[in-house]
A and B are shown apart, each in its own frame.
Chain A
Amino acid sequence: MRMLLGWGLFVLMAPFPLQILAAQERTTVGGYGEVHYTNPAGPKTPPVVNLARFVVYLAHSFDDRLAFRSELEVEDAKIEGGQAGGEVSLEQAYLDYRLADWITLRTGLVLPPVGIINETHEPPTFNGVDRPGFDHDVIPTTWREIGVGAVGTVPGRSGLAYRVYVVNGLRAEGLSAGEGIREGRQEGRRASFANPSVTGRLEWARPGVKIGGSFWYGGTADTNAAVGTGTFGAPVALLSADARYESGPFALRAAVANISVSDAQAINAAYGQSVGSRIAGGYLEAAYNLLRLLAPASSQKVNAFVRHERYDTQASVPAGVTRDRSLARRVTTLGVTYKPTWNTAFKGDYQLVRNAAGAGESEVLSLGVGYQF
C-alpha cells in the first residue's frame, strides 16, 4: 500500500499548510481471481481443474466526487462457440457521485446489496474453494443489475451504513426449481425494465462485528400478462440477514434468506417449470486460526473451518407441483484456508453434499488458490 505523503497538491489553508490532497484525476487497476481443483468421489467423475474466475478491476476518479468503477470478468478461462461454460461479463460498472459521507449517488450496473458474498466476493474474503451453495442457489451471486441508488454511512457514532437502489427486475421466464431466481437475473444485458425492483441493505459495524439485513422486491412478469400485470406483477420478495464476527483466532459467520414467489403457480403454468413458492435457507460457519496456537507471533493465518448449509429451493410449492425433496440440500464443508497475506489464499476443503431425498448425494474434494489486489 503506497503512502501518499507529500504526493499531489498541498492545500494551503491558513494557518495549516497540511497535505490534504486536492482533487486529482487518477486511474486504478486491480483484480481478483481463483483457480479450482475439484474432485468428486467416484470413479466416473474425474477431477477437474478450472480457472474459475479472472477479474480485472478498473476505476477512474474524475475529481474528488465523481468516480467510475468496474469489474470485467472472464469465467472458465475461455469461451468458444458450442462449448459449455465460459463467460465474459461485466460484474459491475457504475458511476459514483459523492455528495457527503452520508450519501453517494450511484448509477450503472450495480450489485444488489444482498447477503455477505454478493458484494464482498473476492476469494480471500471467504473460506472454502467455491462460494457457499447457498450463495448460488438462494442468493444468486454475483447478482448485478442496472439501476440508480444511494449509498452512505449514517453520521455520528451509530456505525450504520445503508445502500438502496432501484434496478431492473428479474424475469419469471428464468426461474427454476433447482436454482430458484438465479436464471431470472438479467445482468445488464438488454434488460427489460418492465418491472423495476427495489433493493437495499442496512448494516451495523463494530471492530470484528458486522450485522446486516437486506431486501429485494420487484415484479417478474415482464410483458407476459398470463404471469402477472402491473409494475409488480408476479413479485419476488426477498429478505435476508447476515452476521460476521471475529475475535482473536475465532471467526463466525451466518446468513439466512427467505424468498417468496407468490405467483409461482402462474409462472410454472406459463413456462413449464416447478418453481417453488418459497425458497429459503442459510448457513453457519465457524473458523479457528491454527497459527494462533502454532505460531502466535505470525500475522499469517491458517483457518480451519466448518460450514453447514441448509437450503431448499422448494421450501414451499404452489398447487400442481410435487415437492422434489432432493432440492432440500444439506451441505457440510470442512476445510482449511491458508492466508500468507490478507489478500491471498490457498484453500482446501471436503464437502458432504446431502439432500432430504438421499438421491444423487456426493462428496467432493476441492483445492484452490485465490487473490485480490
Chain B
Amino acid sequence: MTLALALLLLTSQSPAAPPAKLAASIARLFGPGARVDTLRVDTVGVLRVSRADSLLGFAAVGNVLGKDQPITFLVAIDPTERLKDVDILVYREPYGGEVAYEPWRRQFRGKSAGDSLRVGKEIRSISGATISVHAVTLGVRRMLAQLTAWHQSGAIR
C-alpha cells in the first residue's frame, strides 16, 4: 500500500500537461483521424477540425477561476455555430469536480451564442459544486460568443 502510493507520487503526471487529454477530447467530439489545424486569432489559438474537404467545426481552450484555481475547459462548435460539447481538460480543485461529469456538460449541447445559458434556468446546478458550475457556465457562454463572433467575421473559417 505504502509502496504503491510512493510509486504513484513519483510517476503521476502533472495535471497541467494534458496534450493527450486534449487530443482525446478532439477525437471524441469529431471522430478519430480528423485533421486539426491551429488558427491564430489575436493571441489565441483556435483549432480547426476537418476531414477531407469538409469542415467539422472549431474548438478553443479557455480558463476560468473557480474557488481558487483556474479551470481549463474546451468548447467545440460545429460549422453552424452550434455548441457540440464542452470538455473539462484540467480541474485542479478538491470540490466541484462534478462539472466534468457528462450529464452536466451535456446540458450545453446544441446551444448557440444567442441562446440564454443561465445557472438555475437552462443549466441545472449541482449542490456542492456551485462555484465551479457558475464559473464554467460563464466561461462557456463567453467562449461560445467569441467563437461565433470570430466565425461570423471570417477570422476563423
- Interface: B113 (CB within 8 A): no
Tell me how far the C-beta of B92 lies from the nearest C-beta in chain A, rounded to whole angstroms: 6
Tell me how far the C-beta of B96 lies from the nearest C-beta in chain A, rounded to whole angstroms: 10
Contacts known (A153-B97, A157-B101); A207 close to B125, Cβ less than 8 A: yes
- Interface: A11 (CB within 8 A): yes
- Of chain A, the residue at the smallest CB distance from B68 is A28
A301 and B118 CA atoms in complex are apart in Å by: 13
Q: Which residues of A contact B107 (CB under 8 A)?
A: 207
Tell me the count of chain A residues lying within 8 A, CB to CB, of chain B.
61
Do residues B16 and A205 form an inter-chain contact, with CB atoms below 8 A? no
Q: Which residues of A contact B64 (CB under 8 A)?
A: 1-4
Contacts known (A19-B45, A98-B92, A104-B94); A208 close to B124, Cβ less than 8 A: yes
Do residues A20 and B103 form an inter-chain contact, with CB atoms below 8 A? no
Tell me how far the C-beta of A7 lies from the nearest C-beta in chain B, rounded to whole angstroms: 7
Do residues A161 and B22 form an inter-chain contact, with CB atoms below 8 A? no
* Secondary structure dominating the interface of B: mixed
Do residues B16 and A20 form an inter-chain contact, with CB atoms below 8 A? yes
- Interface: B79 (CB within 8 A): no
Contacts known (A4-B64, A5-B63, A19-B63); A120 close to B128, Cβ less than 8 A: yes
* Secondary structure dominating the interface of A: strand
Do residues B36 and A15 form an inter-chain contact, with CB atoms below 8 A? yes
Do residues A301 and B120 form an inter-chain contact, with CB atoms below 8 A? yes
Contacts known (A1-B138, A16-B19, A18-B45); A101 close to B65, Cβ less than 8 A: no
Q: Which of A3, A7, A16, A125 contacts B139 (CB 8 A)?
A: A3
Do residues A159 and B101 form an inter-chain contact, with CB atoms below 8 A? yes
Do residues A119 and B16 form an inter-chain contact, with CB atoms below 8 A? no
Q: Mark B118-131, 1 if CB is under 8 A from A, else 0.
A: 11110111111110
Q: Chain A interface: which of B6-14, B50-58, B148-156? A: B6-14
- Interface: B27 (CB within 8 A): no
Q: Which residues of B contact A13 (CB under 8 A)?
A: 19, 22
Do residues B104 and A207 form an inter-chain contact, with CB atoms below 8 A? yes
Do residues A28 and B67 form an inter-chain contact, with CB atoms below 8 A? yes
Tell me how far the C-beta of B57 lies from the nearest C-beta in chain A, rounded to whole angstroms: 15
- Of chain A, the residue at the smallest CB distance from B98 is A205
Q: Which of B14, B104, B118 contacts A23 (CB 8 A)?
A: B14
Q: Mark A193-206, 1 if CB is under 8 A from B, else 0.
A: 00000000001011
Do residues A99 and B94 form an inter-chain contact, with CB atoms below 8 A? no
Q: Which residues of A contact B127 (CB under 8 A)?
A: 116, 120, 125, 205, 210, 244, 246
Do residues A1 and B69 form an inter-chain contact, with CB atoms below 8 A? no
Q: Chain B interface: which of A58-66, A82-90, A226-234? A: A58-66
Q: Which residues of B contact A19 (CB under 8 A)?
A: 44-45, 61-63
- Interface: A360 (CB within 8 A): no
Tell me how far the C-beta of B28 lies from the nearest C-beta in chain A, rounded to whole angstroms: 13
- Of chain B, the residue at the smallest CB distance from A243 is B127
A351 and B94 CA atoms in complex are apart in Å by: 35
Q: Which residues of A contact B15 (CB under 8 A)?
A: 64-65, 98, 100-101
Do residues B38 and A3 form an inter-chain contact, with CB atoms below 8 A? no
Q: Which residues of B contact A152 (CB under 8 A)?
A: 97
Q: Which residues of B contact A299 (CB under 8 A)?
A: 118-121
Q: Which of B22, B62, B68, B72 contacts A16 (CB 8 A)?
A: B22
- Of chain B, the residue at the smallest CB distance from A210 is B127
Q: Which residues of A contact B92 (CB under 8 A)?
A: 61, 64, 67, 98
A205 and B95 CA atoms in complex are apart in Å by: 12
A153 and B99 CA atoms in complex are apart in Å by: 11
A125 and B133 CA atoms in complex are apart in Å by: 14
- Interface: A285 (CB within 8 A): no
Tell me how far the C-beta of B115 lies from the nearest C-beta in chain A, rounded to whole angstroms: 15
Q: Which residues of A contact B111 (CB under 8 A)?
A: none
A-B contact pairs, 10 of them (CB 8 A): A5-B63, A8-B63, A17-B38, A19-B61, A69-B94, A100-B13, A119-B128, A152-B97, A153-B98, A205-B128
The 9 closest A-B pairs by CB, nearest first: A28-B68, A207-B124, A4-B63, A18-B61, A59-B68, A244-B127, A208-B124, A210-B127, A64-B16
What 8 additional pairs, Cβ within 8 angstroms, besides A61-B68, A205-B104, A205-B127?
A3-B63, A19-B61, A59-B68, A100-B12, A207-B126, A208-B126, A247-B124, A342-B134
